[in-house]
Chains A and B, each alone.
Chain A
Amino acid sequence: MNHMWKFSVRRMLIIIPQLLLLSLLVFLMAQAMPGDALTGQINPDLDPQEMQEQREELGLNDPWHIKYADWITSAVRGDLGQSFQFKMPASELIWNRMVNSFWLGVATLIITYLLAIPLGITSGRFNDSLLDSSITGYTYIGFATPIFIFALVMLWIFGYQLGWFPTSGSVAPGSDPGTFEYIVSKINHLLLPAISLGLITTVNTVQYLRSEIIDTKQKDFIITARAKGASESRVYNRHIFRNSLLPIAAFFGFEITGLIGGTVFVERIFGYPGMGDLFIQSVLLRDYTVVTSVVLLFGLASILGALISDIILSLVDPRIRIK
């Protein structure tokens, strides 16, 4: 247990330089982008002299390290600056989108694991059977299909041709928050994007689980369990699955980084108002405060995801701690 704490503390210390580097990178990106807080509010009556004074007042002429310090202190307080386009605080704009993206992420993860666990287990248990070849074939195709093409095809078939799912938005217009219809409509809008993303992201986990089970099958403790007369189902349910599922559970934090990339495409294609969609929209509108804020938040999410996974992994696999 002592090792465990040491590892966790050491691992948590690593995120300090990571956060610092991330914030510096995002800050430099923001500096490299054309325009500043005043560009959006150009008032034709304002003469250049006054503009200069305002710039001075807002600290836009300060040296970079002071600007960085100002920016990071307000970011920590939750003030991410003003959106040029929507004339409202970026944090407010992001909040609603973040909730939508969060639910999309949760739904995708649920679908990913709902598919991966039975498929991976079947494939690993009956390896080299016809069933295994079909599942492996599916993972090969999944690896070769970019999410944006798959999502388009899903939208085409289930959204337009069959009309089973809505083709854009996150909720039917006119439904009141809190009502039963509202929740149903939310889920209905969520399902097709989540299924599309889940069907592709799951192939990694299926492959991993399969090879994990095939490896475990030949280990000594499994042979011992069989020799002691444990039934085949007991061997699988109690010994093999438990051993193979733990690392899968631990990888869920890393999954977050992968999901972020996927949501950009899926939200764009299904017109789902989440952070990924907001990001692309803001880049196109040159709304740079929003752009940098989104990158910062997604970076933060990946850092935390990796942290969670590393700590769970060290719980599961003592070899990692001893290093």
Chain B
Amino acid sequence: MEKKNEQEYTEQSGQTSKANEDGLSILGRELIRDKVALISLILLIVVVAIVYGTSIIMDKDEIVKVDLFAIHEPPSDEFILGTDYGGRDIFGQLIIGTRNSLSVAFLVTLMTGLIGVIYGLVSGYYGGHVDNAMMRILDFFLILPFIMVVIVFVSIVPKYSVVSFSLIMTAFLWMGIARLIRSKALQERELDYAQASKTLGSSNIKIMFKQVLPNLSSLIIVTMTLNLAANIGLESGLSFLGFGFPESTPSLGTLVSYATNPTTLEDRWWIWVPASVMIFVLMLAVNNVGQALKRATDARQRRG
């Protein structure tokens, strides 16, 4: 499915690379003009500030402490969002869980971005046999059933931690951005500026990273924003299945997973609904920002 979006995207942004002299400031301007995106962005900043801010002053041990006298308590003055099966405060878990989920999503997005951009640049810039070989490898990663391969790795890695979880996710998620960057790099290297620089004797490394890369910066920002939304979903999905965050680390997906118990699903909304809403709002807001940025890079859809 990613294929379609990328293809569509490449077509749309095909004409913009020329008028790219201040691509980043155009992105910023368009974002502020787009009301939905601006509200989404403000909402995101507020959530991030609250979540990272309060999680510093929160006593984490207090939140994950099992209290057998307060099992499955509905929301009250003492527990704003009630408690779970171990008598742990849901509100605290929600705050820390959101922070954990966001941090992993950020980390995975950055790492996949880094790998994908370098891989795509090298493959597209060199072209020919190098490109061919690199694309076959990429195709192979693309056909792997992501969820299952990640689950298998999560269950066989010794000393499993948040870091190894992020690395495993990264290992199977860099392909989308790599393919996109590669197709753009293939076009860029044919342009006059790249050819001229080559004739003047610039090294390939310099052309790739100092000259071609800056021209792709708005594309990279757009793609990474959209990836961030997808990664929030993937991380919470894996945690939901029980193969994301290590046990005892609060996460949004784990909170939602309590709803696989029919009694919780029907009668204890306070356990799973807030986390579900949080995931939905985060993904929707990040997506809105990403879509607005995407429109901004497309001269045909820009608002002027």
What does the 1/0 interface line of A274-317 toward B look like (CB < 8 Å)?
Answer: 00000110011000000110110011001100100000000000
The interface residues of chain B lying within 8 Å CB-to-CB of A299 are 143-145
- Within B195-239, the residues touching A (CB, 8 Å) are 229, 233, 236-237
- Asked whether, in the complex, the Cβ of B262 is within 8 Å of the Cβ of A167, the reply is yes
- Asked whether, in the complex, the Cβ of B155 is within 8 Å of the Cβ of A152, the reply is no
Whether, in the assembled complex, B3 has its beta carbon less than 8 Å from a beta carbon of chain A, the answer is yes
Whether, in the assembled complex, B148 has its beta carbon less than 8 Å from a beta carbon of chain A, the answer is yes
- Asked whether, in the complex, the Cβ of B145 is within 8 Å of the Cβ of A14, the reply is no
Stretch of B90-98, B123-131, B280-288 on the interface side: B280-288
Interface residues on B, range: 35 or more
- Asked whether, in the complex, the Cβ of B240 is within 8 Å of the Cβ of A295, the reply is no
Whether, in the assembled complex, B151 has its beta carbon less than 8 Å from a beta carbon of chain A, the answer is yes
Whether, in the assembled complex, B18 has its beta carbon less than 8 Å from a beta carbon of chain A, the answer is no
Whether, in the assembled complex, A58 has its beta carbon less than 8 Å from a beta carbon of chain B, the answer is no
State in angstroms the CA–CA spacing of A292 and B11 once bound together. Answer: 40
> Which A-chain residue is minimally distant from B236 (CB atoms)?
A146
Whether, in the assembled complex, A156 has its beta carbon less than 8 Å from a beta carbon of chain B, the answer is yes
Q: Is the interface of B mostly helix, strand, loop or mixed?
A: helix
- Asked whether, in the complex, the Cβ of A303 is within 8 Å of the Cβ of B241, the reply is no
State in angstroms the CA–CA spacing of A211 and B279 once bound together. Answer: 28
State in angstroms the CA–CA spacing of A284 and B272 once bound together. Answer: 23
- Within A12-45, the residues touching B (CB, 8 Å) are 14, 17-18, 21-22, 25, 29, 32-34
Partner-A contacts on B (CB < 8 A): 1, 3-5, 8, 11, 136, 139-140, 142-149, 151-153, 155-156, 229, 233, 236-237, 240-243, 253, 256, 259-260, 262, 265-266, 272, 276, 279-280, 283-284, 287-288, 291
Q: List 10 A-B contacts (CB under 8 A).
A: A18-B143, A34-B156, A141-B284, A146-B283, A152-B260, A160-B262, A207-B8, A251-B4, A283-B151, A299-B144
Having A148-B236, A152-B272, one finds 19 other A-B pairs with CB under 8 Å, namely A18-B140, A144-B280, A144-B287, A146-B236, A149-B279, A152-B265, A160-B266, A204-B1, A207-B8, A251-B1, A251-B4, A254-B1, A264-B147, A264-B148, A279-B151, A283-B152, A295-B145, A295-B152, A302-B144
Partner-B contacts on A (CB < 8 A): 14, 17-18, 21-22, 25, 29, 32-34, 140-141, 143-149, 152-153, 155-156, 160, 167, 201, 204, 207-208, 211, 215, 251, 254-255, 257-258, 260-261, 264-265, 268-269, 279-280, 283-284, 291-292, 294-295, 298-299, 302-303, 306
